[in-house]
Structure 1
Amino acid sequence: MGWLSRLAGLTEHLKLDVLMKFDIGSGQGVAALRWIVTRPHASLSDEQSRIALVALLYARTLVNHQETRGELFDRMAHAARRALQGDGNLTFEPWKLHVAGKDFSIWPWVLTEPGRVTDARTYTATLQSTSGGSLAIHLKMALGQVRILAPSSALIAAFGLARALNDTDCTRLAEVLLGINAHYRSSDSISLGSERSALATAMPALVR
């Protein structure tokens, strides 16, 4: 994918692998995050780059998955507001999706180390910058269980990153996620290809 990005005038900076193994029988999942720096961003710290990529993954998930869009939008907003009000972290309420007469857990997941998630389905998000300086995402999604894994991946990425950040950067993450929502105003007004402009709206919270 790297040469295609260069051909399109994009520079790759950071990759995030969200490794997920979801057991249909139990309706529960285990996941891990793996970060790979490909080229440090000239003006963003590693933490800021990670926040930007998680925010873009969240926005892309909102754009692409209408079935769970409203719930994801509201749950991310509630968690981000709680973090800013002193919760100190991003915490999500349990969330089940009813499919074919059975409930499947979108949240919570058990987070562990990458080497302990065997036979995982992996979503790979790549942070890119354009020649004009804006940030973009390339997302490669594993096949299968998409109705569960797609919304789960955004929550797993945000939750896992928040746990790894200090208080200042966790606050920044919450503010950027709320900035994404502020751009859209409502889950009913999200349009195809809008994630880049959504992050641009949230950039003041990222770089302040």
Structure 2
Amino acid sequence: MKYLCSTCGHRSAKWMGFCPQCGSRKALVEDQTTRRATPPEVVPVASAAALAADRSPVGIGEIDRVLGGGVVPGAVLLLGGEPGVGKSTLLLQAAGSFAETGCSVLIATAEESSHQVGLRAKRLGVDSSRVSLVADSDIDAILAAADTMRPDLLIVDSIQAVSASGVGSVPGSVSQVRECAARVIQYAKARATAAVL
């Protein structure tokens, strides 16, 4: 059994009254992450390269250039920047452009309502039946919605605002962000869905 600090994410083999990493009192909780019962499949590099999927262009030249020609199914990208610089707006424009190529997009908005995102989409001219919204801050609910829809691209806006059950800390904490990101990565790889956090 291992323990996880709900403040800083430090892992410990034994429970202590405080975290040796950050000093938080009574912050060590039982690590709820599950271990895989069977080992992962091992494949030769040559056959893995043969399985490589084609990139899907986003449709915005600069983004496609940064991504080496487009998004790869199963890849997870992290978009970072200072608050207010336009990350959500850029992602919405990219979603609309990507949808115009015939791909489906699910935007999970944890900080804004669907109505707010819909108004911004209208202002930006993003009018596609292939872009869907889910307004929720629970990562399991978001991934369940994605599992139902099976989008080509999943956008989680923003990873700091979502939370995972079983992690005893507030959204935005190191342990919550780590766990939520891990769940999105696992989902993306298993479903060959590109994701942006």
TM-score by length of 2: 0.26
Q: Which has the larger radius of gyration?
A: 2
Structure with higher helix content: 1
TM-score by length of 1: 0.25
Task: Give the number of the structure with larger relative contact order, counting CA–CA contacts within 8 Å between residues 6 or more apart.
Answer: 1
